[in-house]
Amino acid sequence: KTSIANALRDFQRYLSPHIRTEKPVVHISLNPHPDDVLTDMDMENIAREYLERMGYGNQPYMVYKHEDIDRHHMHIVTIRVDENGKCLDSRYNYHRSKAITRDLEEKYNLHKADRKQRQADNPLRKVDASQGNVKKQVANTVKSLCTTYRFQSLGEYRALLSLYNISLEEVRGEVGGREYHGFVYSATDRQGNKVGNPFKASKIDKSVGVEAIEKRFAYSAKKFKEDKKLSEMTKHSVEAVLKQTYHKDKFVELLKAKGIDVVFRHTADGRIYGATFIDHRTQSVFNGSRLGTNLSANALQEHFTLPYENEQPIPLTIPKEDGAISEQERHDSGLFDEYGSGLGLMAGGGPSNEAQEAAFDRELRRKKKRKGRSL
């Protein structure tokens, strides 16, 4: 059985003081479907073949088996530099990884990856500045939202971001005689107040910049035009809930139970001047007025204003199928849930394995710093 000390000795040969990369260690998570019956040997073979095909076949590596979620899964730690301190080719790793994992799923007759279930397995979390590494939190959340949700305006996009404690500002100006137009993202607290430093979209990824978001607007508009059921489903659900209550807080609560969030914008005196519905079932965002005049800000303000708020709601029988969305039978997320890099990606595990990984991670950091100081 490999010990932490033995593993460190093997890894240490690759962590020379001449390494220039800041992140020489790679972390990979492999997550089979709960119904995939795999022995320890199966998992070891899959891990080895994956590493070999990714170009890490001659590198030292450690595999931890975890059972901290309702499936067996593995965490692999390996090195991205050779014995001379030279970085291995990591170009197109994401796409290479996807192609390799598809092949392995076929070879070992495993459940194939499914995008929707993958998202369910990795739910988006609100940015929490108190947890540190705010830029990474903001970047990961924004990039995910941009590629999974559909919205047609900056207002709708801002409403979506606000659910995850992120704000967005447009910046315009002129530098050296050239005009510029960009986005700046910031983390917020629960009240929507900005916390910490803002981040330019260009420092996150081009997929979250002005040009990319404007393309997302056009793409979303086209999709909604082609598939009217997306907006009709949201509208039907919102109208059904609206008929059940005159209380705004109850309205919000009932919608959330259906998988829909609503973001209100208020004037200084508390009047509603904007309402945006985020339907997580279809990953669609709509201003109320897009769904109908009865769901516009003015109509909702009237609905929730005295003398109506103390009246009994209109009797309503909600159809059983309300809010249901037809889709093909879902498969669970496939074998490989995440490909990540860096020393700080040791994520969750059972108490024993987690302690070992943490100790290994700390020792690698300590050794690398010590060698750095000797230069």
294-345 residue pLDDT tens: 999 999 999 998 655 455 554 433 344 444 433 332 333 344 333 433 222 2
**Interval 339-362 mean pLDDT:** 42
Query: Of the candidates 253, 295, 302, which has an alpha carbon nearest to the alpha carbon of residue 277?
Result: 295
Please give the residue that has the higher pLDDT: either 260 or 122: 260
Q: What is the DSSP string of 242-279?
A: HTT-S-HHHHHHHHHHTTEEEEEEE-TTS-EEEEEEEE
What would the pLDDT profile of 171-187 be if each residue is shown by its tens digit? 988 777 788 889 999 99
CA distance 305 to 289: 19
What is the pLDDT confidence band of residue 131, given thresholds at 50, 70 and 90?
Answer: confident
Compute the distance between CA of residue 132 and CA of residue 203 in angstroms, rounded to an integer: 18
Assigned architecture for domain 4-114+332-373 = 3-Layer(aba) Sandwich (3.40)
Position 364 scores a pLDDT of 61
198 φ, ψ to 5°?
A: -80, 165
Q: Whole-angstrom Cα distance, residue 91 to residue 343? A: 19
Entry pTM: 0.53
Share of the chain above pLDDT 90, in %: 41
* 347 compared with 310, residue with greater pLDDT: 310
Least trusted range by pLDDT, from 69-73, 84-88, 124-128, 146-150 = 69-73
> Which of the four pLDDT bands, split at 50, 70 and 90, describes residue 17?
low
Q: Which residue has the higher pLDDT, 362 or 240?
A: 240
Q: Where are the domains of the chain?
A: 4-114+332-373, 129-226, 229-310
Instruction: Give the pLDDT of residue 194.
Output: 94
Q: Where are the alpha helices (DSSP H) in 40-152?
A: 40-54, 93-107, 115-121, 134-148
Name the more confident of 327 and 168. 168
Question: CB within 8 A of 164, min separation 6: which ones?
Answer: 124, 125, 126, 127, 141, 145
Based on the number of CB atoms within 10 Å of its own CB, is 215 exposed (0-12), middle (13-18) or buried (19 or more)? exposed
